[in-house]
Chains A and B, each alone.
Chain A
């Protein structure tokens, strides 16, 4: 066996190897990049190389000349690390690195590798943020803890694989990346390079790589062997490979006449399936209701990943739907809404709260209703009707038409006006006769409706994914499209064309009915058109034309949280929450299911997938499990033994089980952030510890005390140390645009410590200006968004700080008289005194007699408002606001302003990010009219007191903003 005894010898050998590999890939692999993991060393040689690198680094700085072994060493660390941060693993494995190493050396040498051998260069947002560790991780190709995710993804996608996709790694990568949203945060980073994802996936599927066009065979073999160590991953990969082999043997490919390329699918269009589908149902009063099935954003083209992210994280408003916005993530599980009013022309049908303009622009462009002025629905039963997208009707059939204006002219007797519960439109039932006369035909045409009289096309044999009853259907990719054509006339000939291709003569059968059958095969994803032309018999017969629109889509990705077609579903807002959001109670979870059935709910913390650290039963009521029950149950776990292992966990799995309804899971992985705080406790008390993923030497660390929460103190310590302070407080780490904060509880050894811990926060007063309020909002957000450990004292102290900011904001805006009321309410040490102070504050609210009348009404409304939902309460306050200040801010509706005010005075920490660019002008409006802030504050505190004055989450009872 060839052995080496020095780093230089390793370097020379690797140099030779990578040069050869570069030449080979240029020849067979179309110039694709190479990776440091493709070093070609055996397992024994890797061990030897690692020993040699460790030996050198233990006693001195990294070598200048023999750098290739260090690059391979770093890639090997990247390949096997899981859970822990990269540098922690690297340093633990490499004695002496802390003293002699240099993280920037690693980046520079990988850069040299890329330049000299055409090595992969990390790209994308992730690479920009993690400019050092992106190199060794990219060059690890597919780190071990991402292998299961890839195998799972390939398994889920196996039935959509085609020969062309397997032969085109770039396209395969784009398709897979578009479906990877459920995978771990680290895998999503990996998927930001679809070329690499496709390269690895294609190599895994084909199982060989002649000529090493994609990946060196020994590297591929190694990844497959490691992946196969996990039974589940092995099984998934085997299944996917089996499907790929089948495709290779049978040549399953895109067979359509007008192939829709992956580029089409991944261009900046969501495609025809983004259109909301309308349907009608009748309520018990026989009024028609209009429903919209919202588009499914679970699979979007990879270049629209930002839309997917926004849909997951932001609440959605639907034009024409009253009440609160849809929960965050609702567009990921095929939501259905009922329209109270018809959307105004030119209004975006969907819009996300606080989304960037570009996101809402995509939604406005792509997700719109069919053009009017008339929409027609085919009745599938007495009480149901589905929209016909082609606006065609058929003699002898029954429809409902809705229109923005009443039908004019002499309507036929078979058209009947019927009631509809949707403002802005009128509805008519159309019971078409078997033979409409010329006038009737003309009337339909005047409504924009076509009459399709003699030809019927429909799916046959296999139910399609969706069918509008008249000529438009959806099928799942991979399913055969089987269609029948029928007519009442005797037929001489029938021809059909697919996507403008050559005509095909259809065999026609006269018995038992005039019918022909066609098989369109397995069409590619996209929209296809089949045109029919039937020539009836008879001397003057003209051809009858028909159109079938076939939309092919991929199936929804497997959703382990359950699917709305199943009886038990976990719904969460935002969708796809991180472990941090789960742990900190920043995700709203509810479990939908049959009433009163008991379900078992557990939270499992894992170090990596399938490696449990602990499992905890949650004490929840029977189904359905509402957010409030979930929140209380999670608090019990957070403050219990789970708190000790949380920092080690990389994944949290919520599992809901019922013997007959099955098991639904919600998997939350830790965010892969530049900086992260852990919290622990040892004999010296609570501490915070910073995990640094960027390798920066100039991380700024500051501490803010509970007593003076607006004053930053610089902390000069080693970033890897445990940071602590007897009084606890907020620790903030900042590096460039990245920051992370944590609330560290105070150390409590005796009663006096406890008193100190809950000392009253003191905020330095400021000028009455938007700048001062803006600064306090930023500080509130810092405290609010900071990681909160499962420690009751930390939560109490944090909430007191947030309330102090709310008090200061209201005092400064409300004026000196109101500031005294704020002090009285804050200083009250019993609920009775607090209520008395609130009562007294009502005298200081109004600036004039008219406002006094409104304030009296507002005060009277508090007991009833306390019983309302948060959204209804906002609407209630908005009505008062309109009376108090009819022209508060031009161009801003009162509901928005009411929401802003109520957020500002109850939860300032979330107000800035919620209101975005509108924050500054809204603050200026409040300074110009302080009475509206006083009224909002009075309303908030009134509801809080009415509900008992104790907020389970948030600062004020009844004001738990999502």
Chain B
């Protein structure tokens, strides 16, 4: 049977089809975008970030209120979904070196928090729900985060396991790099860079200019010039897929040494290492990143960062706080006031941020 609908009704049907409540989430809400990304990935992985974004944009551009803003929103949402752990950004699967990194579905899993709440992670193939019908109704969606709020009744963890979800310990999910000083971290990368060989000219190189203000991340990116001397976090294009992150040395704007990121083994994203390294470089230069915090409601505090969050920090804050939208801010989370100081301290120890009230 054919039903003719208006744009609003078809958008509401799509939201419901994504498993969300059409009364509380619009088609361009962060929750719907994250769900649309998960659904598209369930049919198209392994795929590149670019292809996945395109698929989602094409499905939504005729329904959202601001089609021009959609691409940026999908890109940010996709980053959040990857960092959260729903998608794995990998290359060299099966022992064959790859010219690009591809996204793969992370297996359906759950993380039990001390509060009793459970975070749901991963994507089932072909748009299938990752939990059974009774549990699906209990899922709370907040931006890219799916959780079943606590306190949980007896049997919840067993039911999740019975649905085929694997339990991931909170420690394992929140595993993060070893804390070091900013100077120590920069020295580690400098040592690697000094041991590297000359890469030759690289077309399409862009770098993060440490001399530009730390408060405007996007404005710090620029192509190299002949005046550039020193070491920079940068990105270089590759044949397929997203640009590669790297740390390089320039002489007269020409790369003389280069290390591709990540340097750590295991499942680590290049951007995670790059953002942390940039935080360290900024701190060593005396212009650390800022963690601006402000009150929100009676017991809430919102923290805004001026640099994208590495996945290990996003996961921690997904577990402790709630992602929120603050216009103009790159990353914003809302915390209970009692948690604020601990999280500011953590950000300072790992990214050398300076707290600003």
User: Which residues of A pack against B, CB within 8 Å?
Assistant: 155, 158-159, 231-232, 235-236, 239, 242-243, 246, 255-257, 284, 380-381, 383-384, 458-466, 476, 479-480, 482, 484, 486, 496-498, 504-507, 509, 513, 515-521, 530, 555-556, 558, 560, 563-567, 592-597, 623-624, 659-663
- Known A518-B2, A662-B107, A663-B107; judge A567-B17 contact (CB<8 A): no
CA distance A516 to B10 in the complex (A): 10
Contact A521 B3 (CB under 8 A): yes
- Known A242-B133, A504-B2; judge A461-B60 contact (CB<8 A): yes
CA distance A155 to B163 in the complex (A): 9
CA distance A484 to B13 in the complex (A): 13
CB of B105 within 8 Å of the partner chain: yes
Given contacts A257-B1, A659-B168, 8 further A-B contacts (CB under 8 A): A236-B162, A460-B62, A480-B13, A506-B2, A520-B1, A521-B3, A565-B41, A593-B94
CB of B216 within 8 Å of the partner chain: no
Contact A521 B166 (CB under 8 A): no
A663 contact set on B, CB distance < 8 A: 107, 166
* Most chain B beta carbons < 10 A, residue from A155, A384, A519: A519
Docked complex: B288-339 residues within 8 A CB-CB of A: none
CA distance A560 to B85 in the complex (A): 20
A482 contact set on B, CB distance < 8 A: 10, 13-14, 17
Contact B133 A462 (CB under 8 A): no
Count A/B pairs, Cβ under 8 Å.
190
B174 contact set on A, CB distance < 8 A: none
State which of B50-58, B225-233, B347-355 sits at the interface with chain A.
B50-58
B55 contact set on A, CB distance < 8 A: 463
CB of B277 within 8 Å of the partner chain: no
CA distance A615 to B94 in the complex (A): 27
A594 contact set on B, CB distance < 8 A: 90-93, 267
Contact A461 B63 (CB under 8 A): yes
Contact A498 B62 (CB under 8 A): no
Docked complex: B1-55 residues within 8 A CB-CB of A: 1-7, 9-11, 13-15, 17-18, 27, 36, 39-46, 50-51, 54-55
A624 contact set on B, CB distance < 8 A: 93-95
State which of B122-130, B185-193, B243-251, B255-263 sits at the interface with chain A.
B122-130
| A460 → B minimal CB distance (Å) | 6
- Known A515-B62, A596-B265; judge A463-B39 contact (CB<8 A): yes
Contact B42 A462 (CB under 8 A): no
6 nearest CB pairs, A to B:
A461-B14, A662-B107, A567-B104, A517-B10, A235-B162, A504-B2
Q: Which of A484, A518, A563 contacts B125 (CB 8 A)?
A: A563
Contact A243 B133 (CB under 8 A): yes
Docked complex: B165-183 residues within 8 A CB-CB of A: 166, 168, 172
A381 contact set on B, CB distance < 8 A: 50-51, 54
Number of residues of chain B lying within 8 A (CB) of chain A: 71
| B205 → A minimal CB distance (Å) | 19
B46 contact set on A, CB distance < 8 A: 564-565
Contact A383 B240 (CB under 8 A): yes
CB of B203 within 8 Å of the partner chain: no
Q: Which of A459, A461, A566, A595 contacts B92 (CB 8 A)?
A: A595
Q: Which of B10, B50, B164 contacts A461 (CB 8 A)?
A: B10
Q: Which of A231, A460, A530, A565 contacts B162 (CB 8 A)?
A: A231
| A792 → B minimal CB distance (Å) | 31
| A556 → B minimal CB distance (Å) | 6
B132 contact set on A, CB distance < 8 A: 155, 235, 239, 242
A565 contact set on B, CB distance < 8 A: 41-42, 45-46, 104-105, 125
Contact B126 A465 (CB under 8 A): yes
CA distance A103 to B43 in the complex (A): 53
Contact A479 B62 (CB under 8 A): no
Hey, what's the 0/1 contact readout for B112-149 against A, CB within 8 Å counting as 1? 00000000001001111100111000000000000000
A235 contact set on B, CB distance < 8 A: 132, 158-159, 162-163
Q: Which of A246, A530, A555, A597 contacts B267 (CB 8 A)?
A: A597
Contact B92 A462 (CB under 8 A): no
Hey, what's the 0/1 contact readout for B214-248 against A, CB within 8 Å counting as 1? 00000000000000000000000001100000000
Contact B266 A662 (CB under 8 A): no
B265 contact set on A, CB distance < 8 A: 596
Contact B43 A461 (CB under 8 A): no
- Known A231-B158, A383-B240; judge A518-B4 contact (CB<8 A): yes
Contact A518 B5 (CB under 8 A): yes
Q: Please, could you name 28 A-B residue pairs with CB atoms under 8 Å apart, sorted by A?
A: A235-B158, A239-B163, A246-B133, A255-B1, A460-B60, A461-B14, A461-B15, A462-B17, A463-B36, A463-B59, A476-B126, A482-B14, A482-B17, A484-B10, A506-B2, A506-B4, A509-B7, A517-B10, A518-B2, A520-B1, A563-B105, A565-B46, A567-B104, A567-B105, A593-B93, A595-B95, A597-B266, A662-B107
A284 contact set on B, CB distance < 8 A: 99, 239
CA distance A799 to B55 in the complex (A): 56
| B103 → A minimal CB distance (Å) | 9
Hey, what's the 0/1 contact readout for B194-211 against A, CB within 8 Å counting as 1? 000000000000000000
B36 contact set on A, CB distance < 8 A: 462-463
CA distance A513 to B107 in the complex (A): 40
